[in-house]
Amino acid sequence: SIICLVDARKQQQQQQRQKAELPSMDVDFQALDKEAQKAGEELQKCRKRRREIQKLIPQLTKQLKSLIVKKPKLDLEIESCDTTRETLTERLPELEAGCQLSKKDQAKLEDLEVVVEQRQKEMKAAEKQCENLEKEQKLLQKAILDAGGPGLKKQQAKCNKVLKNLQERQSDINKAKVEVKTSQKKVKKA
């Protein structure tokens, strides 16, 4: 019976120790569970990324093949550009010399600039004179109409109306001529 008491006491102590250890094991279990969840999320992200990359592989393979084919052509173009650049660089002094104005050409250019300036002044003076003459013409026409009285003004209005009708009829005739030519072309094609 003492042995039973000792055994019961030992069992009780053992149960107490297990209960004391249980919270620390529970904390460890929760931490491990959180780490497992994080690891699972990371695994899902990695799988998703792998699927995306696997989808890109055929497209990138096609592009790589295309670029492999284009590379020799581009290499030849680069070599050609290098040769062209060298040739143009060699010709540069010759071309620059051709672009420089000689003293004779420079003098001729300056003379022409002076002539252009003079002609521009003359043009402005002529334009001013023209404006003055147009003003004078309008004044004279008005004076003539005023001198002729209302009868002349009526006749002028009639003339303007007849001229307008004449222009409209001329336009109609031109349209008809175009239509005739178009019709003739259509007939020839048919």
Helix, strand, coil distribution of the chain in percent, nearest 5: 95, 0, 5
Q: Encoding tokens for residue 9?
A: 């006491």
pLDDT digits (tens, 9 = 90+) for 68-100: 999 999 889 988 888 888 888 888 888 777 777
Q: Encoding tokens for residue 134?
A: 């147009």
Q: pLDDT band at 59, cuts 50/70/90?
A: very high
Q: What's at 68, amino acid-wise?
A: I
Kindly give, in sequence order, each residue whose CB lies less than 8 Å from that of residue 109, ignoring residues fewer than 6 positions away.
101
pLDDT digits (tens, 9 = 90+) for 135-164: 999 888 888 777 777 777 788 888 889 999
Q: pLDDT band at 190, cuts 50/70/90?
A: low
Q: pLDDT band at 49, cuts 50/70/90?
A: very high
Q: Encoding tokens for residue 112?
A: 């022409």
Decide: 145 and 153 in contact? Cβ < 8 Å. Answer: yes
Q: Encoding tokens for residue 32?
A: 């491990």
Decide: 118 and 125 in contact? Cβ < 8 Å. Answer: no
Which is more confident, 11 or 122?
122
The mean pLDDT value of the chain amounts to 84
The strand ranges marked E within the chain are none
**Rounded percentage of the chain residues whose pLDDT exceeds 90:** 35
Kindly give, in sequence order, each residue whose CB lies less than 8 Å from that of residue 156, ignoring residues fewer than 6 positions away.
145
Q: What are the DSSP calls for 65-125, one per residue?
A: HHHHHHHHHHHHHHHHHHHHHHHHHHHHHHHHHHHSPPHHHHHHHHHHHHHHHHHHHHHHH
